[in-house]
Amino acid sequence: MAEIKTRGALLGSLAASVVLTISFYLLATALGRYGKLDIYMASIYVLVLSMIVSASVIPPLLKKRQGGS
């Protein structure tokens, strides 16, 4: 059971990070003020940073949603 919760937290964290990264990429591309390399490198930075943050935020939310204490 713990493995399923861990997998759900990992997938939730990864999904949130990918959504944020794609949103950042599309917004930066739409603005057109930055070069492609700048956008690519910043997208990697956003992905890594959002994975770190969401890895600590998503598990408690899932636990709370499933009725755990």
**Structural domain spans, the chain:** 2-65
19 — pLDDT class (breaks 50, 70, 90):
very high
Could you tell me what percent of the chain has a pLDDT over 90?
A: 58
**DSSP label at 44?**
H
CA atoms of 29 and 34, how far apart (whole Å):
8
Residue 2 has pLDDT above 70, yes or no: no
Residue 68 has pLDDT above 80, yes or no: no
Per-residue confidence (pLDDT) for residue 60, from 0 to 100 = 83
Please give the structure tokens belonging to residue 66: 């499933």
Using CA atoms, how far residue 28 sits from 5, 54, 56, in Å, is 34, 22, 26
